[in-house]
Structure 1
């Protein structure tokens, strides 16, 4: 079986997600917070998400291996993309977590070195690089 490539994770970096919750569910959440089960609403929601991810961990792991996804934080530097271009290759970027294209990467270099980008999580890149790669981002 193939190995999962785990990238380093930066603690403290998060992405804001908006969730609509019914009034009764919200009341239940507030009750659990008031009773001391959780420190706040966010704590309960994060715990619930982690529990669901743990419940589905085997399916997640199999999908990561099957799709050859990198897990965690992956930064693509100008030097790395220049080396890929010089070798006559193109990257197929597939990340679960955070993919970062360095600020000094030009849109032209990004188009020459990157064939496709699939990010389940967040992609950080300059607006001009994102625009140049718009047809390659899924």
Structure 2
């Protein structure tokens, strides 16, 4: 088994569910029917991107101030073993997606991970999430 096999298969997006009022939904459907957007999802994604662009400076400043890792960050078993060997405790802070390799034993994670703060998505085994629940913010 090579290192590529150990990395989780990462989806390029996460599914979310929202509730909209009948009038808002009707207006979205009207814009789709008039050809402004290809479908409801297209309009919603565009609206979200526009809002994120509006607040881009705040996001950049906050990422810098809180020392967040921006994007995708994968923690392998080797990463955690190196931290243990160095006597370091990890404070995982990610804006985007953090993943912990499937082959990381619960004991190793408990010995090396002090805290986890992810704004976005945390991919880890159910066992790791349960064991680290008190350290996940």
Q: Is the structural similarity TM-score above 0.5?
A: yes
Structure 2 CA distance for aligned equivalents of residues 19 and 57 of structure 1:
23
Give the equivalent residue in structure 2 for 1:127: 126
Matched with 2:6 is none
Q: Which residue of 2 aligns with 1:37?
A: 36
After TM superposition, the structure 1 = structure 2 runs for residues 1-138 of structure 1, keeping only pairs within 5 Å, are 13-138=12-137
Distance 1:109 1:13 in 2: 28
Look up the SS of the partner of 2:74 in the other structure: strand
Unaligned 5+ runs, structure 2: 1-9
* SS state at 2:73 partner: strand
How far off its partner does 1:63 sit? 0.5
Query: Match for residue 3 of structure 1?
Result: none
Across the two proteins, how many residue pairs are aligned to each other? Answer: 129
Which 4+ stretches in 1 moved above 3 angstroms?
Answer: none
- Write the distance in 2 (CA, Å) between the matches of 1:26 and 1:48: 14
Task: Classify the secondary structure of the residue corresponding to 1:117.
Answer: strand
- In the TM superposition, residue 12 of structure 1 has moved relative to its aligned partner by 5.7
Q: 1:94, 1:40 → 2: CA distance? A: 35
Give the distance between the partners of 1:33 and 1:110, measured in 2 at CA.
Answer: 48
Alignment match, 1:8:
none
TM-score (norm 1): 0.90
Cα offsets for 1:16-48 (capped at 9, x unmatched): 111111101100100111111111101100100
* TM-score between the two structures when normalised by the length of structure 2: 0.91
- What is the SS of the residue equivalent to 2:19? coil
Unaligned runs of 5+ in 1: 1-10
